[in-house]
Amino acid sequence: MQSTHRATLIPGDGIGPSISEAAVAIMEATGVVIQWEVCHAGLAAIAAGKDPLPKETSDSINRTGVVLKGPITTPVGGGYRSVNVALRQQYSLYANVRPCVSFEGINTPFAGTDIVVVRENTEGLYTGQEMYVDPDKRAAIVVACNTRAAMEKICRYTFEYARTHGRKKVTCVHKANILKVFSGIFLEAFREIAADYPQIGAEERIIDAACMELVRKPHAYDVVVTTNLFGDIVSDLTAGLIGGLGLAPGANYGDKTAIFEAIHGSAPDIAGKGIANPISLVLAGVMMLHHIGESAAAERVNTAVRAVLKEGKTLTPDLLPGSSYGTADITKAIIERLG
């Protein structure tokens, strides 16, 4: 008998509700039964007169432990603290896994790219502890924190990921030449953990050289492990290698909770136009289906997405400039191709 799963759905802001609707429709079309607890966060919660991360949303996440989340708007330079960062810290979602695998039919100069970026998700520069140091606001500092425990945990997670996913190599991306202690503590942890996995290659790259090399020869990379800020940036770069933000999913894993999301933001410039590309969130849904033990359904969705992209017809304008197809069309096309 088909089991029923429970999950929290946070539709998000901007294009979030429309791409969430698409992802849910596609996941449900596989026949997998998910009872969604729909909750709000970010602008949507504020519009309803609530906190950016309301208690009922936290309660739902505590209950289900599994979340599909649309992008949430974070005000730039002021306003409330990022709900995304708050969620990652509140639920100790220490591993942000962002796979970037090329698609047939999407023309980029980087065909055959297959890189998984694993980003430490709770420490580094994302502590939220920043301040001006003078009354004229002409200088500012931020408190950054990397603990040895968290660095070891993310490195072990990454090597385990490589081992269980048949990956051959992990590259540690750091800046320990300049940040000798802050980034050095990460590099030291990497070296120690790598020694426990002699069957998996271990390489080290300084972040700036890594960015250049990722573009020049992406095939030299397999799994990348890095700290919070570098991972945020590098994973957008790797998304660019495969055709853009609309194609790259992400998962945030903790010991008890997992949140699946697109790596892009709420795209306010195209919100409400019906042209948002839902594939990044649909592929986050694929990661979620694997997580809840529905791997056959996950692979059906993955195959259907790849078929639609390979055909290259029913694509949103970010993938096919000038296209008149929108979110609803690509969703229908993916559902039609579910085997």
Which residues bind to ligand NAD, rule: CB under 6 A? 15, 71-74, 84, 245-246, 261, 264-270, 276-277, 280, 318
Q: Inter-axis angle of helices 148-164 and 184-194, to 10 degrees?
A: 40
Nearer to ligand NAD, 25 or 179 (CB): 25
**Closest by CA position to 18, among listed 337, 235, 236, 246:** 246
* Closer Cβ to ligand NAD, 218 or 249, answer by number: 249
Q: Token pair 């202690």 is at which residue? A: 181
The continuous run of DSSP H or E covering 249 comes out as: strand 249-253
- Residue type, position 99, single letter: P
For residues 269, 273, 274, 279, the Cα torsion angle rounded to the nearest 10 degrees is: -10
Query: Alpha-carbon distance 54 to 190, whole Å?
Result: 37
Among 199, 193, 198, 224, which residue's Cα sits nearest to residue 211? 224
From the CB of 75, what's the least distance to ligand NAD, in Å?
7
Nearer to ligand NAD, 20 or 171 (CB): 20
Write down the least CB distance from residue 318 to ligand NAD, Å: 4
Nearer to ligand NAD, 193 or 319 (CB): 319
Q: What's the closest the beta carbon of residue 156 comes to ligand NAD, in angstroms?
A: 25
Q: Among residues 249, 231, 234, 335, which one has the least CA distance to residue 70?
A: 249
Q: Is 197 helix (H, G, I), strand (E, B) or coil?
A: coil
Taking CB atoms, the residue at the shortest distance from ligand NAD is 265
- In this complex, which beta carbon is closest to ligand NAD, that of residue 159 or of residue 230? 230
Beta pairing partners, 213:
none
Q: Nearest distance from residue 311's CB to ligand NAD, in Å? A: 19
**Cβ 83 to ligand NAD, closest distance in Å?**
8
Q: 169 forms bridges with which residues in the sheet? A: 201
Cβ distance to ligand NAD smaller for residue 72 or 309: 72
Q: Compute the least distance from the CB of residue 247 to ligand NAD, in Å.
A: 9
